[in-house]
Amino acid sequence: MSTLLAPDETSRYRWVALANTTAAVFMSALDGSIVLIALPPIFRGIHLDPLAPSSIGYLLWMIMGYRLVQAVLVVSVGRLGDMYGRVRIYNAGFVVFTLASMLLSFDPFTQGGGAVWLIGWRVLQAVGGSMLMANSAAILTDAFPSTQRGFALGINQVAALAGQFVGLVAGGLLASIDWRWIFWINVPIGLFGTVWAYLQLRETGERKPGRIDWAGNVTFALGLGALLWGVTQGVQPYHGAAMGWANPQVVLELVGGAVLLGAFWRVERRAPDPMFDLSLFRIRAFSMGNAAAFLISLVRGGLQFIFVIWLQGIWLPLHGYRFDQTSLWSGIFLLPLTLGMLIAGPLSGYLSDRFGSRRLATAGLGVFALSLLGLLGIPVSFSYAPFAILITLNGIGGGMFAAPNTSSIMGSVPANQRGEASGMRATFMNSGTALSIGVFFSIMIAGLARHLPRALTSGLVSHGVPASAAGHVATLPPVASLFATLLGVNPVAHLLASSHVLSGLADAGLVTSPRFFAHLLSAPFGDGLAPVLWVSVTCTVLALVASAARGHQGESIERDDLEG
């Protein structure tokens, strides 16, 4: 049952709800990226060979397992929030997230066992994160009137986006002390947030009683899970091929996932209490807003990886940074992007309350697209000032879009379906982020596969490396070379050391330097980067069209609730 509050209590409660949920979504989003930047010390800490064939799978699941679980679960836990209370499910999420963080910080195993331990408990952590993410926007939409909702949701949404990029810096700083700190840091925050939420948050929204739609939950979870699992496996090498899209298992997972999602659609059309109310898509602001959010999440998720690899694998080594330093500094050099989001997000949320969401969100996507076109015009070994300006514009455009878009989506649905709608919104965003690894890495690896083996062979032979040893280095799958940069490893030095050719090589110091590998990688990387950015521009333009087609703010059916 919802709780009625006095006017002064209502005003105070709004800001308590905003502070608590913003801390929660920031923490949850930060943990989606903090592992990405801390992978080098994690691999060293559990004694895992970064270039072993099995390590690619471990790396992918450490990064994407969290996103995959969130994408699958957020609608279900949002629906549970509508049925049993959004605050109740949200509070339980804090408990689960904190418990999983404790278990992650204690890894008793090494090598493959240590990796499986981390992946497994990251799954539980993602369950808690899903419960927080799915219900936070609904709690705020319940608490704030429409005249302040954009500002509140803007701060909340930008906290989630900023968390993804702050995690890159925090992961580098904390992992330089001990990799376990990236999980320990969540424990005091989680304990405080849990107690605070249980003492202060109240059920102020409407519930939607009903039964759990087991058929819908199962077909959705299995379908989306199989699809995302297949995408993750598709970027891994298969029988000598650079990628595994021809792997029968991958094809089966993709086709099976699509079939199960089709079955889910049929189940939901007939279910008396569906987990995914398809009638919400008849609301243009809801359907177009989610379409735009999905496309931008696809772009943003892919660009996050590409920016990190661009800096860690090429730009920083070319400018004299060692590979064991690049994880921290790549996060620092990406700070302008985060600052752009932090500035534009709350401001655009405030302005959307006064002037409406559609124009602001659409204008933000225009700025986002222009920043991508600008990135197409700079070389792989760029001067930092123009790069910083362009990623700042990218962050500003993303911040301008995120807050008004979230406000438009959440304000367009009935009050008793806000938990479900929030979960659906989070599903589109998390699915886009999870799918981005398949889309963007496939494009990037295709470019690398055409030119990197030849560049490595010719570059090594020209500096005295025997052709057989150079050919051995060149057979390293392009995805392994790409991921080696994420793990702070120079694959040339690693492989040549194992082939015992360095002792008789006059240019051994040059050949094994980070600058040498970065130089060989830069041209093939550029061949993959250009199509990645063009695909990003195309997706952004499609998102812009969808945003403009959402209709005017007056289409929202929940404009006046809770006002005053």
Mean pLDDT for the chain?
Answer: 83
Least confident among 318-322, 422-426, 448-452? 422-426
pLDDT band at 7 (very low <50, low <70, confident <90, very high): low
Residue 264's Cβ-side half-sphere holds a number of Cα atoms within 13 Å equal to 23
Q: pTM for this structure? A: 0.81
Q: Does residue 289 belong to any structural domain of this protein?
A: yes
pLDDT bin (cut points 50, 70, 90) of residue 354 is confident
β-partners of residue 241 are 238
Q: Is there a domain that residue 18 lies in? A: yes
Q: Is the Cβ–Cβ distance between 413 and 283 less than 8 Å? A: yes
495 belongs to a structural domain:
no
Model confidence pLDDT, tens digit, residues 503-540: 777 777 888 888 888 888 898 899 889 999 999 999 99
Is position 266 within any domain? Answer: no
- In a domain, residue 94? The reply is yes
Of residues 259 and 412, which shows the higher confidence score? 259
Residue 125 belongs to domain with CATH number? 1.20.1250.20
The residue to which tokens 């890894």 are assigned: 107
Number of domains composing the chain: 1
Confirm if 420 and 75 have CB atoms less than 8 A apart.
yes
Within a domain: 322: yes
- 261-270, 327-336, 350-359, 462-471 — which one is most confidently predicted on average? 261-270
Q: How far apart are CA 250 and CA 239, in angstroms?
A: 13
* Confidence band for 375, pLDDT divided at 50, 70 and 90: very high
Q: Is the pLDDT of residue 563 over 70?
A: no
Counting DSSP H helices and E strands in the chain, the numbers are 21, 0
Q: Report percent pLDDT > 90 for the chain.
A: 22
Rounded to a whole number, what is the largest CA-CA distance in the chain? 82
pLDDT tier at 157, thresholds 50, 70, 90: confident
| Out of 183-197, 223-237, 358-372, least confident range | 223-237
Per-residue pLDDT, 1: 46
Q: Band of the pLDDT at 3, cuts 50, 70, 90?
A: low
Strand partners, 238: 241
Q: What is the pLDDT of residues 258-297, one digit of tens each?
A: 999 999 899 888 888 787 788 888 889 999 999 999 999 9
Lowest mean pLDDT of 202-211, 447-456, 543-552, name the range: 202-211
Give the pLDDT band of residue 93 (cuts 50, 70, 90). very high
Quote the CA–CA distance of 342 and 158 in Å, as a whole number: 6
What pLDDT digit, counting tens, does each position of 162-209 carry? 777 777 778 778 877 888 888 888 888 888 888 999 998 888 766 767
**How much of the chain exceeds pLDDT 70, in percent?**
94
Q: Is residue 247 part of a domain?
A: no
Q: Are 493 and 464 in contact (CB under 8 A)?
A: no
Backbone angles phi, psi at 213, to 5 degrees: -85, 85
DSSP string, 452-493: HHHHHHHHHHTTT--HHHHHHHHTS-HHHHHHHHHTT--HHH
What pLDDT is attached to residue 498? Answer: 66
Does some domain include residue 435? yes
Specify the range with the lowest mean pLDDT, choosing from 28-37, 112-121, 438-447: 28-37
Give the structural domain span for 99. 7-212+275-447+524-555
pLDDT at 564: 36
What span, in angstroms and rounded, lies between the C-alpha atoms of 12 and 508? 66
What span, in angstroms and rounded, lies between the C-alpha atoms of 364 and 395? 10
The pLDDT of residue 560 is above 50: no
Confidence at residue 558, expressed as pLDDT on a 0 to 100 scale:
41
Average pLDDT over residues 428-454: 84
Assess whether pLDDT exceeds 50 at residue 555: no
